[in-house]
Structure 1
Amino acid sequence: MSRWTRPAADAGLAALVGILVGIAMSVATEPALGTRPPDAIAYGLAAVIGGVLLVRRRSPLGVLLVTAACLLLYYRLEYPGITPAVPLAVALYTAASRGLLVWSLGIAALFVVLGLTVRPLHLGEPILPVLTDMAAQAGLLLAVVLLGETLRGRRVRLAEADERLALVEAGQEREAARRAAEERLRIAGEIHDVLSHTITGITIQAALADEVLDNRPADARTALRAIRTAAGEATAELRAALGLLRTDDGEPPPRVPAPGLGQVGELTGQARSAGLEATVIVRGEARRLPPAVDLAAFRVVQESVTNTIRHANARTVRITLAYEPDALEVEVVDDGRPREERGRRGDEHPEAGVTPGYGLSGMGERASSLGGTLTAAPLPGGGFSVLVRMPTGDPA
């Protein structure tokens, strides 16, 4: 109901109740002596009983008390008796529907008790007709109160249902935002891994091409081809990662094969191009891994080799892939100079500083997201070790 129709409805209801109370007063008959016919005061009380309903939504208890007081005053002035249900019904219903059940029952009980005591004792009416009449009026008053209470309970249940629905929707929005944030972090990690590794390789190959361009142009061309190949592969991976951000709902992202341990040979080749002696050791029987584990293991090796090239000043790097029945263990070890001999070159590699940066934290997040663990620490005699262990499930 709108803000315009609600006052109009209240005004119509107030007028109707006032008219009905006035009619009840005009047709009432009283067998006892001493009563006086309704006059201006009586009809004025009827007007007050109806008019006070205009504010029943703002002050339901006040309306109920004023209505009861007017009715009591009407009886006290010894006008012909009328049933209390007509003047009290709307006020009782409104109060009960606003949660004032005790007040509503109390006012209704007050008039029932007064009818059961005053009519036989003061007016001399026979007790049996009085009991019958007051039982009917009590039932009517109780029905009005229960109707208001039922409406209030229904309104409360609807409000609770709306609140639960709002909480569910808010939870869904938070979950969607959390998943979106996780996806953004995952994409950021992919972009970081691709760019860090590719730029390092391009830098090394570019430096090599610059050194041999005059004396060994064939080697320079080889380095430039390696740069072109690395840039092309990085472009494809970046396009796939960024495509996830640009893809509209329902539109499939560009399909680019995710890298895996099958490409570790390319990493060792790039490490050798940078002047490192790179070896790969496989323990156990190599097998097909879950895609997420395969990708995470490759990224760990890629990030570790990149950090070794950029920061470790090492001569060798050893990559160990241990296939266990239900887990994969990957270890990357270099022989870089001891920590105390190096300057602080950044935070990508803990050997170059005390706080791990995006590289190590990204590797740790990849491992933990798959239920694995990552350990990264300098070696006592020099060098650095990165060890990650991830469950792969039953190979069967």
Structure 2
Amino acid sequence: MSRRLILTCLLSLIACSATAETWPGETWAVQPIAASAALADLEKYAFTPRDELTRDGIRTDALLVIRDGHILYERYAGPTHGNTPHLTWSISKSVMATVLGVAYGQGRFKLDDPVAMFYPPFRAHPDIKMQDLLHWASGLDWQEDYEYAPLNSSVVAMLYTRGRADMARFTAEHRVAQAPGTSYRYSSGDSTVLAAALRGIVGDQAYADYPWTALFEPLGIKNATWETDATGTFVGSSYAYMTARDLARVGVLMHREGRWQGRQLVPKAWVDFNLTPFNQQVPLPSGEVPGGQWWLNRTGSGQPGPWPDAPPDTFAALGHWGQALYVIPSARLVIVRYADDRDDTYDHNAFLRLALAAFKEEGGQ
């Protein structure tokens, strides 16, 4: 073998090694970031003591930052520790969408399939398709009010009162307000019907274990709990519990377009669907840009999204009281934040601005 050929082979090996992806096994590789003024600013924002009597202000329970499969930063507070499965609230919606992505890749359903194919109570709504639920665009007359207007709230009734025994059926009993697929209306009911449809998609026998066999076990997630209603249907809107490190695995999967190690666990086409803005040119009045059960920072026309200090490719799974899984592909960052914010003090854009400054790479722009 010539010297030139040997040198070429060595250079190729070095290049492959330099670009090799790091994947978490039982544990994560750790590359802690050095202390800095920018990191201190982030910590001051995220971990400022709040008034525990009124519970006003920001309370971060966990903050975990990943770059390229390595942990850069990890901190816990309050009752939360590294091995605590934290209530994710509506991050559950994005996790359920990822579970459905595995079933989609197995050829078990199509986006334009009627929901009634898999969930019989939706025969009353034959025109609602799977993609409509994924876009929160079922057209059902749903009121997503919380503790601020509990008497008017469909979601409070679903989770805690007259709908709690069979949450998907309770949703199916709502009247139609608009044509399916034409407009966005955020609905925990839509997300819970997706969880009920999953039973019809994979079958009764596989259903109870499917989130684990399809997604959690391949990702190495060990500490997930998902509550069900009295019918055994997963509460797809709200009640998944995961540690910060386990949730970060979902973020890494999405960052890497559905790939996990040597396997395309979720089709790239599914990830692309999740990250495509739903039929809108500008953010909604609330500032939201919905995708397929994920939140986006770009509109269909490329106009700025709700977090102007973050890159346009940023996307997130978000939950009540400040839960967040942020993915920032251009910065190669995955960030998990668990929290107990009981007012409107916490601001996603402010947090992302501080986080991007704290974890800016040397020589980065």
Q: Same fold (TM over 0.5)?
A: no
Higher relative contact order (CA 8 A, sep 6+): 2
TM-score by length of 2: 0.25
Structure number with larger C-alpha Rg: 1
- Give the structure with the higher percent helix: 1
TM-score by length of 1: 0.24
